[in-house]
Amino acid sequence: MNVMSSALVTGGSGYFGSLLVKKLLEKGISCSILDIIDAPDRPSNVQLFQCDIRDAEAVKAACKNVDVVYHSVAQVPLAKNKELFNSVNIQGTENILAAALANGVQKVVYTSSSSIFGIPKKNPVTETDIPKPLEAYGKAKLEGEHLCKRYIEQGLDISIVRPRTMLGHGRLGIFQILFEWIRQGYNVPVLGKGGNLYQFVHSDDLAEACILAANRPGSELYNCGTDRFGTMRELLEALCQHAKTGSLVKGVPARPTIWAMKATTALGISPLGMYHAMLYGGEMYFDISKANTELGWQPQYSNSEMLIQSYEWYLANRATVLTSSGGSPHRSAVKQGVLNAVKWIL
C-alpha cells in the first residue's frame, strides 16, 4: 500500500469532509481544505483554500504539492437546484480531476452516491450493476463517475467510493426533523408496513474506507454500507424505544403518501428531495464484499447504533444547531415546511 503524507479535501468544511479531515490528522497526514466557507471548527493546522470549485485556476492552485485529493464537495438533494447540481457536481468535478492530473497528484478518491442506482430492481447492489439514476442529483453524481473514468484513461489513479446514506455524530439535514419529532414524542411514519430493508453507513466508517482506498494503488469502485441492518420499521422502532418519549412508528398508505411527497416536493413546500420521496419506502442495500476483501475494510457501526448516536448528538447540541445559520445542509437544521402539519395527524 502507498502511504500518503499530504491531502486536499474538497468540501472539507461540510459534514463528511470535516470528519474526514479529523481522521486524516489523527493518522498524521497533513491536510488542506477547498471550500467556499470556513467552518468555525477548522483545525488551526489545516490550510483553507476558500474558493468556488467551479473556479478552475483556484482549484489548480489548491491541488499543488498534495499526494491525494479526496473529492467530497457536492450539491446535495436538499438544494433542489438542477443547474447547481450540474455546475458543482459535474464541472466542479472536472476541474478537480484536471487539476490533479496537471499537478501529478498520486491519487484521487471520488465520493459518489448510491443515488446513481435510483430504485434498484434487485438487491444487494454490486459494483458491476448498471446505474440508473432517476433524479437530478443521482444523474449529476453518475456523470461525475463518467468523468473519473475519462481521466483514468489519461493516467490519473482514481478510486470511486459509493456510500449508502450517511449517519453519525453531527449528521442533521432531514434527520433533524426525525430527531425533533421523536424528542417531542410525535409519531413517525413508515410506508405500508415498513418492511423494506434499508442500509446506512456511519461517516467514520466511510472515512476509513476512503483512506484505505487512497492507500491502495489502482483505480477501483467500492460500495460501502454497514453489514448490520434490517427494515425501516425496525430501525425507527429501535430509536423510539431508546428515546422513551412516547413516539411510535405508524404505517401510512404507501401509494398516496408517495404521490403526496412528490407533489409537495415539486411545489417547494416540503424539505424533502425527490430522491427521498422515491426511496423512503424502497429497498436498497449494497454488497460490500469487495471493500472487505480488497481494502480490508470492516464497518464498525450497525444501522441502529449510528442512528441512536446521531440522535444523542442532536439532543446534546440542539441549542447550538437551532440558532446557527448557513453552512453545510448536512450539518444544519432544516425548515419542516408542510411536514410540520403532518406530525399532528399521525
Spans in the chain with pLDDT lower than 70: 1-3, 76-82, 261, 264-278, 324-346
> What cell numbers appear for 98 in the block?
484536471
What is the secondary structure of 65-87 as a DSSP string? Answer: T-SEEEE-----GGG--HHHIII
DSSP helix/strand/coil, 166:
strand
Judge contact between 293 and 222, C-beta under 8 A. no
Amino acid at 278: M
> C-alpha 150: how far from its chain's center?
24
DSSP 216: S
Give the strand pairing for 249-252 and 200-202: unpaired
Distance from C-alpha of 171 to C-alpha of 163, rounded to nearest angstrom:
15
Distance from C-alpha of 257 to C-alpha of 58, rounded to nearest angstrom:
45
CA distances 144 to 77, 174, 216, 281, 330, Å, are: 15, 24, 21, 27, 21
Distance from C-alpha of 271 to C-alpha of 255, rounded to nearest angstrom:
19
> What cell numbers appear for 97 in the block?
480531476
pLDDT of residue 138: 87
| Tens-place pLDDT, residues 156-179 | 999 999 999 999 888 887 888 899
> C-alpha 139: how far from its chain's center?
15
pLDDT of residue 40: 86
| 7 DSSP β-pair partners | 31, 68
pLDDT of residue 254: 79
pLDDT of residue 88: 86
Distance from C-alpha of 214 to C-alpha of 70, rounded to nearest angstrom:
8
pLDDT of residue 108: 98
> What cell numbers appear for 17 in the block?
469532509
| Domains of the chain and CATH, by start | 6-166+201-224 (3.40.50.720), 169-198+230-284+302-335 (3.90.25)
Distance from C-alpha of 189 to C-alpha of 256, rounded to nearest angstrom:
13
pLDDT of residue 290: 98
Amino acid at 158: I
- Residue 322's H or E segment, with its range, is helix 303-323
Rounded to two decimals, what is the model's pTM?
Answer: 0.90
Distance from C-alpha of 291 to C-alpha of 62, rounded to nearest angstrom:
29
DSSP helix/strand/coil, 281:
coil
Distance from C-alpha of 231 to C-alpha of 253, rounded to nearest angstrom:
17
Neighbouring residues of 261: CB distance < 8 A, sequence distance ≥ 6:
270, 272, 276, 277, 280
Phi, psi at 48, each rounded to 5°: -110, 125
DSSP 291: I
Neighbouring residues of 214: CB distance < 8 A, sequence distance ≥ 6:
2, 4, 7, 68, 70, 107, 109, 159
pLDDT of residue 91: 93
pLDDT of residue 212: 97
Judge contact between 69 and 49, C-beta under 8 A. no
Amino acid at 199: Q
